[in-house]
Amino acid sequence: MMKNYRIALLPGDGIGTEVMEAAWPVLQAVADQQDFGLVGDCLPWSCDYYLEHGVMMPPDGVEQLRAFDAIYLGAVGLPETVPDHVSLRELLLAIRQGLDLSVNERPHRLLAGVTGPLRTDKAFDILCIRENTEGEYSGAGGRVHQGGDLEVAVETSIFTRAGVERVLRYGFERARLRSGKLASVTKSNAQRHSMVFWDEMTDRVAADYPDVQVTRYHVDAIAARMITHPETLDVVVASNLFGDILTDIGAAIQGGLGFAASANINPVSGGPGMFEPVHGSAPDIVGKGLANPLATLWAGALMLQHLGEAAAAKNLMTAIEKATASGAGTPDMGGSLSTAQLAQAVQAAL
For the CB of residue 279, give the shortest distance to ligand GGG in the complex, in Å.
6
Could you say whether residue 29 binds ligand GGG (CB under 6 A)? no
For residue 148, the tally of other CB atoms under 10 A from its CB is 8
Could you say whether residue 90 binds ligand GGG (CB under 6 A)? no
Q: Which helix (H) or strand (E) holds 227?
A: helix 219-228
What are residue 205's phi and psi, to 5 degrees? -70, -35
Report the residue number, 166 or 279, with the smaller CB distance to ligand GGG: 279
CB of 239 within 8 A of CB of 95? no
Size of the site for ligand GGG (CB under 6 A): 12
Q: Using CB under 6 A, which of 27, 75, 182, 316 touches ligand GGG?
A: 75
Q: State how far the Cα of 25 lies from the Cα of 28, in Å rounded to an integer.
A: 5
Report the residue number, 19 or 214, with the smaller CB distance to ligand GGG: 19
Q: Interhelix angle for 15-33 vs 339-348, to 10°?
A: 10
Strand order in the sheet with 36-42: 36-42, 3-12, 70-75, 273-277, 261-265, 103-109, 125-131, 235-238, 181-186, 213-218
Q: Using CB under 6 A, which of 280, 293, 300, 329 touches ligand GGG?
A: 280
Q: Using CB under 6 A, which of 86, 88, 206, 350 touches ligand GGG?
A: 88
Classified as helix, coil or strand, 18 is helix
Stretch that binds ligand GGG, among 141-149, 179-187, 279-287, 334-342 (CB under 6 A): 279-287
Stretch that binds ligand GGG, among 35-43, 158-166, 265-273, 275-283 (CB under 6 A): 275-283
For the CB of residue 89, give the shortest distance to ligand GGG in the complex, in Å.
10
DSSP code at position 90: I
Could you say whether residue 76 binds ligand GGG (CB under 6 A)? yes
Report the residue number, 281 or 344, with the smaller CB distance to ligand GGG: 281
Stretch that binds ligand GGG, among 47-55, 107-115, 228-236, 271-279 (CB under 6 A): 271-279
Could you say whether residue 57 binds ligand GGG (CB under 6 A)? no
CB of 124 within 8 A of CB of 233? yes
Q: By CB under 6 A, what part of segment 237-266 binds ligand GGG?
A: 244
Per-state percent for the chain, helix, strand, coil, to nearest 5: 45, 25, 35
Binding string to ligand GGG for residues 203 to 242, with x set by CB under 6 A, is what? ----------------------------------------
Cα dihedral angle (277, 131, 180, 268), rounded to 10 degrees? -100
Classified as helix, coil or strand, 342 is helix
Report the residue number, 76 or 349, with the smaller CB distance to ligand GGG: 76
What are residue 220's phi and psi, to 5 degrees? -65, -40
Stretch that binds ligand GGG, among 69-77, 201-209, 310-318, 327-335 (CB under 6 A): 69-77
Interacting residues with ligand GGG (CB under 6 A): 73, 75-77, 88, 92, 244, 276-277, 279-281
